[in-house]
Structure formats: C-alpha cells, structure tokens
Structure 1
C-alpha cells in the first residue's frame, strides 16, 4: 500500500515550485487567488521565477526548491507551477529518504510525470496527477471543473470518473483493478533503462500526451510494449492526446496506433478520459487502488489523502 499524505485543512500553507520550464508569470499570479479562495496560504519557492534557457533555473536551484518545500514543516502540499522540460535532470539528485520522512501532497502532470514515477517508486508516496497553476488554473478561461477537483485534497472521498464529461470508448472488454500509475507517455518512455523505470506490474496504466505525431506515439508505445510495460499492466487508461495529429500525408491515424498497441497488450482498456492536456482536466491520485469496468464504462479511484 502506498503512503497517503495528510489532507489539507483551511489555513494550511502550500509551496509553489517550478521544477521544469519557466511558468507564465501572469497566469501564475492569477492562480494564487484561486488557492486563497480554497482557504490556503501560498509560499513561493526561491527560484520560481528563474530562467535558464528552457529550464526554470539551474538544476541545483530547482532541486533546492523541491527539497526546501518538502522539509518545511509549515508547507502541507507542494504544487508545481508548470511543466515543459527538465524534471528528469534532477531526479537522480533528489533526497528520497527526506521525502519519505516528510510525506506530503505533491501535485502536477506532464513533465512532472518523471517526478511522480520517481517519488512514488522510491518512497511509496501517493502523488496527484492534476492541472498546474500557470499552465492551466491561472488562465483567464480556466475550466471550473478543473478547479473543482482540487477539493479532493481536503476530503477522504473516492473519485468516480464523471462520464458526462466525456464519452468513453471500450477498446478491450473486461474488468481490472490495481494501483494507478503512469501519466505523460513521452516521460514514461524516457524512464526506460533508468533507475526510475516505470513499474506497471498488476497496475492500471494511464497514458496521455500532447503535440506528438502518431508516428511518435507509435514509437513510444512500441518501446513500452517491447519493455513489457503494456502486457505487465492489469488494464489501460487512455487519457487525452491533444493535437496528436499527422503532419505528413502518409500517416496512420492516432486511433489506429492506440488500437494496435492496446490489442497487443490485450488487457481491459478504456479510452477518452479527460486526463492530461485538456479542459476540463480531471485530477486523480497516482499510487492508490482503482477499479475499471468496461461494461459499465466506469473508473473508481480511492482517496489519495488520509
């Protein structure tokens, strides 16, 4: 069983870090009002506004902000400002024993997938795959439903995927249960062969991505397939693949690629979840038990907090 972090209470302080690319500063500022509406206080990492090429500061500084927030006893949750590139660069330098000793809510997605995987597999800590402050919540047109799912951090309630939000499609029939793992496909593929290689054995594997042509999705799914990650999984949860369209005349369609690999895996598979680079973006805990039933087109996920 994973380690559930302590739930939030009104008046708690949350720490904001930028472990990937520089966040949009205007959106980030706007997101603070949302956190304050939830009754939370905001504490910014020292290097949140740093820029170093496509990175939000040098590796040692982004790492320092992550460590500082986990060590700060007043900070009850660590929320990522945005994604982009670069979290994999700091993964091997993280003090995982310190995180294990100071478990708390950790929230983000996209490039943060590398940290979700590394932190959970090294410490057992349940983390949260959800929309980020600058890239989602702070946008002027942020979806109210995306914001609504932050409330799971305050409550001990399971999540049932709201089927009215999107039409789910059955790719492979069946029931499956296990811990949820996964996230952004590009980042999952980049863990293969490292000390943080994604473990999918007996788990429900979530995949999503953005701005990748079907040929790139094919390459990454083939890598996961050849590494045994698809057949090891108990079931497949296909999230949003935003703008993953061909840029050349000769191409397979995305649906054809996904169908090919789900049938090779031959595990229960549902497609169409609003998990990922989409609006609304339904946030869920990773590392908790979940049950999927394709006949009911249903996904039920345990609470991620205690």
Structure 2
C-alpha cells in the first residue's frame, strides 16, 4: 500500500538536507529564493555545511538531519541539496517506522536513488526524483520546465510526458502500466544483493546516469539482466545519459547500440529520450505512483504523487 504525502500550501516549510557529498554552498544559497518565490519557507539542516572526506558530515550527522526533518512537524517537505556519494552508508540505520509515521514529500535524485528505493520499499512512501538545490536550482541554466516540475507538489494532477517536451523513440513496442521505480543506474546495481535491492516485478523501471561510458552502461545492464530485474519489469523508461560518449581510443559500441542490445527484443514497452536525470530541463517524477507507458502514443502518463 503506497502512502501519498500531503501536498504543499503557501507558507509551508521545506527542509534541506545533504545526505550524500558536500554540496556547493554558493549554489545552495542561490537556490533558496526559488522556494521563497513559491511561497515557501526554507530551513537548512544543521550539518549541511559539514565536510567529512567526500561526505557532507559523518554518517551519524547526515542520518540525524534526515530523521530530524521527518520528525519535525513544522517541516512539510524535504529536498536534498545534492548527490555525489554516501547515501547507501546510512540506509541500514534509517528509522523507517519514524518515516512511516511522519510521511512527507522527499525530493532528490542521483545518489539519492538509494534512499528512494529503501524508503519506498520499507515504508510505502511515494518519493520524488527531481532537481536539487546545489546541483540544479542554484545554477544559471536552471530550465523553466524544471521549475514547473515543482507545481506537482501543490496540486494533485495527472502528468503526461510526450514529444512536446522531447523527442522520444521506442526501442521496443507495447503498452504497460505499473508503479514507477528506479533512478540512477549505477546506484540500482549497487543495491543488488542487499536488503534494499530494487524490486521491479510488474513495475515500470526508470534508468538514467551521468559520465558512464557505453562499456560501463553495458556492465550495469548486464548485472540487472542477470539478476532478473529487466525481465521482471513491465516496461522501461530510459532517461538522460549525460556524458556517455566513449573516452578511450579504440573500438567501442555507442550508447544507443548498447541500449538496443538489451532492450530491442524485450516484447514490452521501452522508450528512450526522456529529459529526466542529470540534464536541463529535468522533468521531475514521483516514484511509487502508477503510470502508463505507450510506444504507440509515445507517452508516459503519471498519476499524482501527493494528496
């Protein structure tokens, strides 16, 4: 049973946490007026500016910020400052019962994928894959469509992604429905064999990544395939694969050739070209809500992620 978080209203408060790597603090500060212009207040967690190696504070500090934002009744939504590395380190110590008893909007992407998967599968809470403060919102190229993605938090409404947003291409034909799950491809592979292994059966699997050459994407998809995750999925949504060109001299497959290799004969809908991921615009989507993907119409129709 999925739990829909409460929608936002003007005057609500957004909590900012950094559960992965240290965020760019200049970009973070530039992003705060965006939320204020939406009529929201912003509270930055105590340890966001901490630096502990390649982490934004110790595991204990980052976990404390996550828990405190969920339990604080004045916080209506939690938005991650950025990604990087480190969320898998704290997943085992998350108080999932606390989150289940205090459901609210949780928003981020990239390394946050690990938290999306763990929280959804342990609590049933719908979470949101969308642009973050330091990584996106505080930058000059933050796209109007990315900004508009936050509208879904204020009013429950069906969203339709079609070719008016970006060119879409069906690798495999069909139509399917199911909960949207997934996120950053390398993080999904990282979950295999652990307690928060991604569940794809009868679901629509979304994947994206950045800076991974075709041979690396090949390796990730091979591992998902061998684990049964591709066969179990009802359909596949392929987001943006930023900077996926071969970097070494010598023969290589292209990213498109790798995707064709794994998905062309799947006998289920697989569509690529969605501007979702490390890109601008970045179309934000909820994880855990039901959606329908259609190769005939080249559409992804998504049910509301808030109530």
TM class, shorter-chain normalised? Answer: over 0.9
Structure 2 match to 1:202: 202
Q: Distance in 2 between matches of 1:165 and 1:26?
A: 30
Provide Cα deviations, 1:2-41, integer angstroms capped at 9, x if missing partner: 1000000000011000001111111100110000000000
Structure 2 match to 1:111: 111
Counting only pairs closer than 5 Å after superposition, residues 85-164 of structure 1 correspond to structure 2 as 85-164=85-164
Counterpart of 2:264 in 1: which secondary structure? helix
1:292 pairs with 2:296: no
Counterpart of 1:106 in 2: which secondary structure? strand
Counterpart of 2:20 in 1: which secondary structure? coil
Counterpart of 1:93 in 2: which secondary structure? coil
Instruction: Flag structure 1 segments of 5+ consecutive residues without an equivalent.
Output: none
Counting only pairs closer than 5 Å after superposition, residues 241-256 of structure 1 correspond to structure 2 as 241-248=241-248, 249-256=250-257
Task: Give how far 1:266 is off.
Answer: 3.4
Task: Give how far 1:162 is off.
Answer: 4.1
Q: Distance in 2 between matches of 1:4 and 1:89?
A: 26
Q: Distance in 2 between matches of 1:151 and 1:162?
A: 18
C-alpha contact (below 8 Å) 2:173/2:267 kept by paired residues: no
Task: Give how far 1:142 is off.
Answer: 1.0
Normalised to the residue count of structure 2, the TM-score between the two structures is 0.98
Normalised to the residue count of structure 1, the TM-score between the two structures is 0.99
Structure 2 match to 1:280: 281
Q: Distance in 1 between matches of 2:269 and 2:140?
A: 38
Task: Give how far 1:141 is off.
Answer: 2.0
Task: Give how far 1:267 is off.
Answer: 2.0
Counterpart of 2:141 in 1: which secondary structure? coil
C-alpha contact (below 8 Å) 1:225/1:265 kept by paired residues: no
Task: Give how far 1:264 is off.
Answer: 5.1
C-alpha contact (below 8 Å) 1:231/1:267 kept by paired residues: no
Counterpart of 2:253 in 1: which secondary structure? coil
Counting only pairs closer than 5 Å after superposition, residues 212-291 of structure 1 correspond to structure 2 as 212-248=212-248, 249-263=250-264, 265-291=266-292
